[in-house]
Amino acid sequence: MTENSIINLQGVDVFQQNHLVLSNVNLRINKGEFVFLIGQTGSGKSSLLKLIYGDVRIAKGLGHVAGFNLSKLSEHEVPYLRRKLGIVFQDFQLLTDRTVEQNLEFVMRATGWKDRQLISERIRDVLDKVGLRSKLKKMPHEISGGEQQRIVIARALVNRPEIILADEPTGNLDPDTSEEIVLLLRQISGSGTAVLIATHDYHVVRAFPSRIIKCDNGHVHEDARI
């Protein structure tokens, strides 16, 4: 694995419950890259993301993500791998009974942050990055879907990840808000954090011309086109 690559998969087979989903995957994503992952429903996009964040194991081949060897990854190491990744899902997964600030604090304490002042400073820093510092004391139901997704991105940033994995991050948003979210993620990649977006939304893929990876017929095609 080269010094610049965050994800490096070589000859990897991806299984889900003994079913071969993707075979002979070769994939490399470098620091600060902005990449779309496309493919039809059931083509293996989510399985590939799960392999990257340690939820699915490598059956064959070599894989390194953020300095971790996926072939030798133990259950104990999975949380440490995930601290180097920021994961953004379609359905937000915010705690509805806590404020924006408490949602972020919950994740930080769960990943080892202890100093109250450092936690507070970091929360304000990531909310600044997503343009929502004023929503600190709001409950999730008091802000829009687009704002909720920005909070999820802020949550993904708290541990200064090397890459953000976004699984259908615009799936519940209207076209204009979708573009705002993808623009935000592209700006984040410009600061050195790689971003991999799995999406069906070809509108945003066309709006932000970038490298495209495609899952199709059990294979992963690097540098694909729509």
- pLDDT per residue as tens digits for the range 157-195: 999 999 999 999 998 899 999 999 999 999 999 999 999
* Higher local confidence (pLDDT), 117 or 4: 117
N- to C-terminal Cα separation, the chain: 29
Hey, is 119 helix, strand or coil?
Answer: helix
Model confidence at 2, in pLDDT bands (50, 70, 90)?
Answer: low
What pLDDT does 57 receive? 87
Backbone angles phi, psi at 136, to 5 degrees: -50, -45
Question: What predicted TM-score, i.e. pTM, was given to this entire model?
Answer: 0.93
Q: Is the pLDDT of residue 224 over 90?
A: no
The tokens describing 67, both together, are 């300095």
Domain ranges of the chain: 94-160
Inter-CA distances, 219 with 12, 13, 45, 106, Å: 10, 9, 10, 38
Average pLDDT score over residue span 41-66: 92
Tens digit of pLDDT for each residue in 104-149? 999 999 888 999 999 999 999 999 999 999 999 999 999 999 999 9
The DSSP H or E segment spanning 216 is strand 211-216
Contact yes or no for 142/114 (Cβ under 8 A): no
Tokens 């990257």, located at residue: 52
Q: Is the pLDDT of residue 23 over 90?
A: yes
What pLDDT does 216 receive? 94
The strand pair at 163-167 and 85-89 is best described as parallel
DSSP 139: -
Ordered alpha helix ranges (H), the chain: 45-52, 78-83, 100-110, 116-129, 145-157, 175-190, 202-207
What pLDDT does 78 receive? 92
Inter-CA distances, 61 with 12, 17, 75, 222, Å: 4, 18, 19, 17
Range in 14-23, 130-139, 145-154 with the lowest mean pLDDT: 14-23
Backbone angles phi, psi at 147, to 5 degrees: -70, -40
